[in-house]
């Protein structure tokens, strides 16, 4: 069976991934749009530096709380129930952000949008994973990263197109578009009979094929799950892996422009171009990963990505004072880090945990990482001010650490008897080669 080419996803599976994958798009769009809108809000409302700094932190913490609570709620009350609710919260929150000119309502909108997008991510991953056959499992989960990258690129592009508009008018376009997409997505989830038929039909097919009907219906408590070694050990390792991967990713996402413009004295246009090139290459890298996700080559490209990340960050640390060399290293890193980052993390989180605990455990992990990442972001400008090279060497250390965790996790997969189509194909290929 390991010689077979993975079948194409059915129309129903594709539609499910599109509707659920919007969660990743909205998550990225909200974060990036907030960054684009921040200087506009600061000027329009005459924010103090403290209030300006609190906006990103408040949003990130709301996402973290949403991930933890939303994942637990979805496993308790049903993945589909919370899946349909949290997208409505996103729609209301982003609409409030788009059209309010009141500071208090702005923060309420940020809290709602952050909670909703945070809750939707682990829930949507669980909805996809429990409705996908093993042959397309990795591809379907990894495809959500395409939506994440698209959210970054399109939000940057909308910000660019509306940059010449007065006051906070660009904010209305940035968040108005997000709100419209969220409302449309909510309408499909709630009112589309054909989508509900696909949603229920795919779940029944997978549960029948794998014999997980009773497991899927059980509703374990978070405290009970955290007492099980087979869940706690993967939770700790996956969370640490994702944390140290996310620290460089979030630092570049939030502070690349700051680094190039403030530290390396380059024009804002130059920083924008470098960021766009990196994100577009990240999108291409995700497409490549999707093609390899359910084949024996998944872990080949994963460790290739790790090697690219190590080399790129090492050279960047040596060349912090040279913006062009740093920019090339950044672009290389953005291409390679996708292969050993969030896509594989998402696949692993949906593989190590039982179907009725995936949303809780994934949300718990995501929430912790988002909260710690927000804390690191508070000291990032200070690190850059002390020494740009020191900042990059800290990120290099993060790469080494998440590389080590990735090796440990791969070795743990057979030990915990986890079904991993890619690893099974790789082992089968080695056996055939040696026989």
Structure tokens at 187: 């309408």
Q: Is the dihedral of CA 78, 24, 362, 11 positive or negative?
A: positive
- pLDDT tens digits for 315-331? 999 988 888 999 999 99
- pLDDT at residue number 6: 57
CA angle 38, 42, 48 (to 5 degrees): 120
**In sequence order, which ranges of 211-340 are alpha helices (DSSP H)?**
213-217, 222-225, 229-258, 268-292, 298-318, 323-336
- DSSP code string of 351-384: HHS-TTTHHHHHHHHHHHHHHHHHHHHHHHHHHH
Residue given tokens 């978070």 in the structure block = 222
> Whole-model pTM?
0.80
Exposure class string for 172-183: b at 16+ Cβ within 10 A, else e: bbbbbbbbebbb
Q: What is the pLDDT of residue 214?
A: 45
- Residues 349 and 70: their CA atoms lie apart, in Å, by 16
Q: Would you call 152 exposed, middle or buried from its count of C-beta atoms within 10 A (0-12, 13-18, 19+)? A: buried
Contact 390, 258 (CB under 8 A): no
CB 145 within 8 A of CB 283: no
Name the helix (H) or strand (E) containing 108.
helix 103-129
Query: What is the spatial distance between Cα 132 and Cα 354, in angstroms, rounded to a whole number?
Result: 14
Per-residue pLDDT tens digits for 7-60: 677 888 888 888 888 888 998 899 888 877 887 888 888 887 677 767 877 888
Q: What is the dihedral of CA 9, 13, 19, 21, to 10 degrees?
A: -50
Distance CA 356, CA 4 (A): 30
> 3-class SS at 131?
coil
Q: What gap in Å lies between CA 223 and CA 216, rounded to an integer?
A: 18
What token pair was written down for 185? 């997505």
Q: How many CB atoms lie within 10 A of CB 269?
A: 10
Cβ burial 335-360 (10 Å sphere, 16+ → b, else e): bbbbbbbbbbbbbbbbbbbbbbbbbb
Whole-number pLDDT of residue 99: 92
| Torsion sign over Cα 111, 114, 116, 119 | negative
Q: Which domains does the chain have, with CATH numbers?
A: 11-434 (1.20.1250.20)
pLDDT at 211: 52
The reported pLDDT for the residue numbered 97 is 95
* Cβ contact 2:126 at 8 Å: no
Query: CA 254 → CA 30, 86, 246, 259, 282, distances in Å?
Result: 13, 25, 12, 10, 16
> pLDDT digit of tens for each residue in the chain (435 aa)?
444 455 677 888 888 888 888 888 998 899 888 877 887 888 888 887 677 767 877 888 898 899 888 877 877 777 778 888 899 999 999 999 999 989 899 999 999 999 999 888 888 887 887 777 777 777 788 788 888 888 988 888 888 888 788 888 889 999 999 999 999 999 988 888 888 887 778 777 766 665 544 444 556 666 777 778 888 899 999 999 999 999 998 888 777 777 787 777 877 678 778 888 888 998 899 889 888 887 888 889 999 999 999 999 999 999 888 889 999 999 999 999 999 988 889 888 878 887 777 778 888 898 899 889 888 887 887 888 888 899 999 999 999 999 999 999 999 988 877 777 777 777 777 777 776
Q: How far is CA 149 from CA 173, 222, 266, 329, in A?
A: 19, 31, 25, 19
Q: What is the pLDDT of residue 209?
A: 63
Alpha carbon distance 55, 203 (integer Å): 39
H and E: helices and strands count for the chain: 17, 0
Give the residue among 17, 175, 201 at the shortest CA–CA distance from 96: 175
Structure confidence at residue 5 (pLDDT): 52
d(CA 31, CA 159): 13
Tokens of 393: 């060497």
Residues sharing a CB contact under 8 Å with residue 101, sequence separation 6 or more, in sequence order: 168
């Amino acid at each position: 069976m390991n010689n077979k080419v993975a079948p194409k996803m059915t129309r129903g599976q594709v539609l499910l991934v599109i509707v659920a994958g919007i969660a990743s798009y909205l998550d990225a769009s909200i974060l990036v749009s907030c960054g684009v809108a921040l200087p506009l809000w600061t000027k329009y409302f005459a924010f103090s530096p403290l209030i300006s700094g609190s906006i990103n932190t408040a949003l990130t913490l709301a996402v973290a709380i949403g991930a933890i609570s939303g994942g637990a709620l979805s496993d308790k009350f049903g993945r589909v129930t919370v899946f349909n609710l949290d997208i409505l919260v996103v729609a209301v929150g982003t609409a409030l952000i788009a059209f309010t000119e009141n500071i208090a309502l702005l923060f309420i909108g940020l809290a709602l949008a952050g909670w909703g997008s945070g809750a939707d991510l682990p829930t949507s991953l669980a909805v996809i994973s429990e409705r996908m056959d093993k042959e397309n499992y990795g591809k379907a989960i990894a495809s959500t990263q395409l939506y994440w990258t698209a959210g970054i690129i399109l939000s940057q592009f909308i910000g660019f197109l509306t940059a010449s508009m007065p006051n906070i008018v660009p904010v209305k376009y940035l968040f108005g578009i997000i709100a419209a997409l969220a409302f449309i997505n909510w309408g499909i989830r709630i009112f589309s009979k054909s989508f509900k038929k696909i949603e229920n039909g795919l779940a029944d097919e997978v549960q029948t094929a794998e014999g997980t009907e009773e497991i899927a219906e059980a509703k374990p408590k978070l405290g009970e799950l955290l007492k099980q070694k087979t869940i706690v050990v993967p939770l700790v390792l996956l969370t640490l892996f994702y944390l140290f991967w996310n620290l460089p990713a979030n630092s570049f996402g939030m502070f690349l422009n700051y680094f190039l413009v403030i530290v390396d004295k380059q024009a804002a246009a130059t920083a924008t171009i470098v960021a766009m090139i990196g994100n577009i290459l990240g999108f291409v890298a995700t497409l490549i990963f999707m093609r390899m996700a359910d084949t024996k080559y998944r872990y080949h490209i994963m460790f290739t990505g790790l090697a690219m990340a190590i080399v790129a960050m090492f050279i960047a640390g040596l060349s912090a004072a040279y913006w062009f060399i740093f920019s090339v290293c950044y672009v290389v890193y953005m291409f390679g880090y996708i292969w050993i980052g969030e896509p594989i993390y998402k696949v692993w989180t949906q593989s190590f945990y039982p179907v009725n605990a995936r949303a809780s455990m994934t949300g718990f992990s995501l929430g912790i990482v988002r909260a710690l990442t927000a804390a690191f972001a508070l000291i990032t400008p200070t690190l850059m001010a002390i020494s740009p090279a020191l900042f990059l060497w800290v990120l290099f250390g993060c790469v080494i650490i998440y590389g080590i965790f990735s090796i440990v996790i791969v070795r743990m997969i057979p030990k915990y008897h986890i079904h991993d189509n890619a690893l099974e194909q790789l082992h089968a290929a080695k056996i055939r080669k040696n026989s």
